[in-house]
């Protein structure tokens, strides 16, 4: 298996929705993933399509940031404005070894 920088995150044990977001972002690294794509990854198997408010992704990203920091990673805040779909990506923390 070829090593990639975010591999440690893919193999770390994150539960539930946090794990889905981490896996989605790690597998896309270094590319960014849209908020809509994260929502789809989270709720693809939900027969009701997930919550009506897609801002749940922002809440989950806040939690993910806290859990991946010990692994040397962060997710920069998206600067998407009204009508712009935010993009999210993993970034190594400064000074952290990969």
Question: pLDDT for 34-80, tens place per residue?
Answer: 999 999 999 999 999 889 887 899 999 999 999 999 999 999 986 65
Show the domains of the chain with their CATH numbers: 7-92 (1.10.10.10)
Cα Rg, the chain, nearest whole Å:
13
Residue of 52, 37, 41, 49 whose CA lies nearest to 16? 41
List residues bridging with 73 in a β-sheet: 92
Both tokens assigned to 24: 């989605």
Cis peptide, bond prior to residue 56, ω within 30 of zero: no
pTM of the model: 0.82
With residue 58 as reference, give the H or E element that holds it. Answer: helix 56-68
């Amino acid at each position: 298996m070829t090593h990639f920088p975010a591999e440690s995150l893919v193999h770390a044990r994150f539960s539930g929705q946090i794990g889905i977001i981490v896996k989605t972002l790690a597998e896309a690294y270094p590319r960014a993933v849209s908020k809509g794509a994260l929502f789809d990854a989270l709720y693809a198997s939900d027969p009701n399509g997930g919550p009506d408010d897609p801002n749940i992704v922002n809440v989950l990203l806040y939690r993910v940031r806290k859990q991946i920091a010990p692994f040397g990673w962060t997710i920069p805040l998206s600067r998407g404005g009204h009508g712009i779909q935010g993009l999210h990506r993993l970034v190594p923390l400064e000074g952290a070894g990969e």
